[in-house]
Amino acid sequence: MKKHLLSCAILLACSPVFAAGNTDSIEARLAALEKRLQDAETRAQKAESRAAATEQQVQQLAATPATQPVVPQTVSVPPEKKADNSGFEFHGYARSGLLMNDAASGSKSGPYLTPAGETGGSVGRLGNEGDTYVETVFEHKKTLESGATTRFKVMLADGQKTYNDWSANSSDLNVRQVVAELGNLPDFTGPLKHSTVWAGKRFDRDNFDIHWLDSDVVFLGGTGGGIYDVKWNDTLRSNFSLYGRNFGEMEDIDNNVQNYILTMNHFAGPFQLMVSGMRAKDNDDRRDNNGDLIHASAASHGVHVLAGLHNDSFWGLREGTAKIALLYGHGLGAEVKGIGSDGALRSDADTWRLAAYGTTPLGNGWHIAPSVMAQGSKDDRYARGDSYEWVTLNTRLIKEVTQNFALAFEGTYQYMDLKPEGYKDRNAVNGSFYKLTFAPTLKAGGLGDFFSRPELRLFATWMDWSSRLDNYASDDAFGGSGFNAGGEWNFGVQMETWF
């Protein structure tokens, strides 16, 4: 460094500028140059001192044992932490609404109000609900240092038809789910490596529904245990479970009839194949909802099969979603929606069901969600030679108006041909049901998303049906006082949310 500075001084002294000036000027300039050289030398010495200190620090780090790392004081290194998803979660679903007819008095409502509703024939729910229903779900999750996970879940639910704030006398509050899960256990290898085992009371994780109809496509639930996500390869996985259910009224402490349901549920990409077998042995003790003994030919075994397709587009034609399922049940499996839930089915009962729905944007702020559900159950469902056939067509439309305001429309058509052959004093009927709903809707966001909530709605609903359907039963909605074929109006307000 000093040699470099001395060379610069010599060059400057020999330059024409110095040679041309007077002596005083040269001496002043040499003095200024000498000061600048001294300042530069001082800075160089400080730099060399810092370099030496850094080198000494590096040598100390290299000489320190790996078990006792030394971190320079000028560096802050936070300790490494393993990703942990532990903690409590709160989820829920709720709806609550006020509904009245055009005379400002009470009216009938509900997705299952038609005669076909007794065998699962639901109709559009928009503008057709005057109840309050709530589910609250509490979960606790934990990830251990080994990578294993735990999960505890409990669901409380209540349904009310009263509009009063105090409804304890009519409450249906109950615990619908209480289940514990263990996942990613280190002892599990091969296909079980990333599986989840569970035990308790629950809804099956892979149930799915058509929301606009308030109807599950398939519902498997009860108390038992199982294992999810047994992965055979990158595309094929399976679930296995054993559920138990009771028939009849839950308040009947003498009801010891139990139905045991063994299920295999396989998924390969978007395809699903679900197979269930069931057995209920104590037929002699089985009673229906009226408390009457079930017919001696009630089923003691059953089988249930579902083949499904879950699309991440609108049938491969455009943006959106779509699902379709074909279901078949025999004997105890002939209740194809709520697997194993109906103890009155006969041993020869057969039922088929087709369910499909999709959602897609149409452009210019319009969105559409069409759906169809059809079911046929012929010869010996509940009585010799009976028949229950129905089909429901439903479409919900949304028109975005502003970022928080939309107009919702829903139309439903249902045809039914029911021949109970005297079962539960029902009469043979056939005919059609129609429903149209207009519902101005407020949302915080996601107006075009059919599955975005919460929503606040005003609604007006018109419904009508064939007069023959008023004769189906004396204790159903149709044909009652003030609720006859010929056209009915319902008006109201409703909130719906889930998270």
Q: What is the pLDDT of residues 168-199, one digit of tens each?
A: 888 889 999 999 999 999 999 999 999 999 99
Burial of 166 (0-12, 13-18, 19+ CB in 10 A): exposed
pLDDT value at position 285? 64
Per the prediction, the chain carries an average pLDDT of 86
The sign of the CA dihedral 107, 111, 114, 115 is negative
More confident residue, 35 or 453: 453
Residue the block writes with tokens 């069901």: 353
pLDDT in tens, 149-168: 999 999 999 999 999 999 88
Long-range contacts, stretch 165-173, CB < 8 angstroms, 24+ apart: none
pLDDT for the residue 258: 85
Tell me 474's DSSP state.
Answer: S
Instruction: Give 454-497 pLDDT, tens digit per residue.
Output: 999 999 999 999 999 999 999 899 988 789 999 999 999 999 99
Q: Report the share of the chain in percent with pLDDT over 70.
A: 79
Whether 140 shows a pLDDT value over 50: the answer reads: yes
Choose between 237 and 424: higher pLDDT.
237
Beta strands 196-203 and 208-210, pairing class: unpaired
How far CA 451 is from CA of 211, 369, 448, 459, 495, in Å, comes to 9, 11, 9, 19, 14
- If we measure between CA atoms, which residue out of 398, 410, 310, 308 comes closest to residue 360? 398
What's 480's DSSP letter? B
Can you give the pLDDT at residue 55? 57
Q: What is the pLDDT of residue 51?
A: 57
Of all residues in the chain, what percent carry a pLDDT higher than 90?
A: 71
Output the CA torsion 368→132→107→454 (10° steps). Answer: -30
Closest CA to 494 of 445, 435, 463, 453: 453
Q: What is the pLDDT of residue 231?
A: 98
- Residue 469 backbone dihedrals phi, psi, to 5 degrees: -70, -15
Which tens digits make up the pLDDT trace of 358-377?
A: 999 999 999 999 999 999 99
DSSP states of 252-284: -TT---EEEEEEEEEEETTEEEEEEEEE---GG
Residue 257 — very low, low, confident or very high, per pLDDT cuts 50/70/90?
confident
DSSP 232: S
Residues 267, 306: contact at Cβ < 8 Å?
no
Alpha helices in 409-474 (DSSP H): none
pLDDT computed for residue 41 by the predictor = 62
At residue 217 the predicted structure's pLDDT band, cuts being 50, 70 and 90, is very high
The burial class, CB within 10 Å (0-12 / 13-18 / 19+), for 59 is: exposed
| Residue 157 identity | A
Report the alpha-carbon distance of residue 310 to residue 165 in Å, rounded: 42
| pLDDT, mean of residues 18-37 | 52
Distance, CA of 497 to CA of 454 (rounded, Å): 4
Classify residue 68 by its DSSP letter: S
- How far, in Å, CA of 404 to CA of 440, rounded? 11
CB neighbour burial string for 395-426, b if at least 16 within 10 angstroms, e if fewer: bbbbbbeeeeebebbbbbbbbbebbbeebeeb
Q: How far apart are CA 134 and CA 160, in angstroms?
A: 9
On whether the CB atoms of residues 314 and 358 are closer than 8 A, the answer is yes
C-alpha 456/C-alpha 95 separation (Å) is 10
- Mean per-residue pLDDT for 110-128? 97
**Residue whose pair of structure tokens reads 């897609």 in the numeric block:** 360
pLDDT at 56: 58
pLDDT digits (tens, 9 = 90+) for 437-450: 999 999 999 999 99
Which range (16-25, 77-86, 135-144) has the least confidence? 16-25
Q: Which neighbouring-strand residues pair with 155?
A: 137, 177
Q: Show the beta-strand stretches assigned E in 144-173.
A: 149-160
Give dist(CA 392, CA 354) in Å, integer.
Answer: 10
Residue 315 pLDDT > 70, yes or no?
yes
Question: What's the token pair of residue 57?
Answer: 């620090």
Q: pLDDT class for 351, splitting at 50, 70, 90?
A: very high
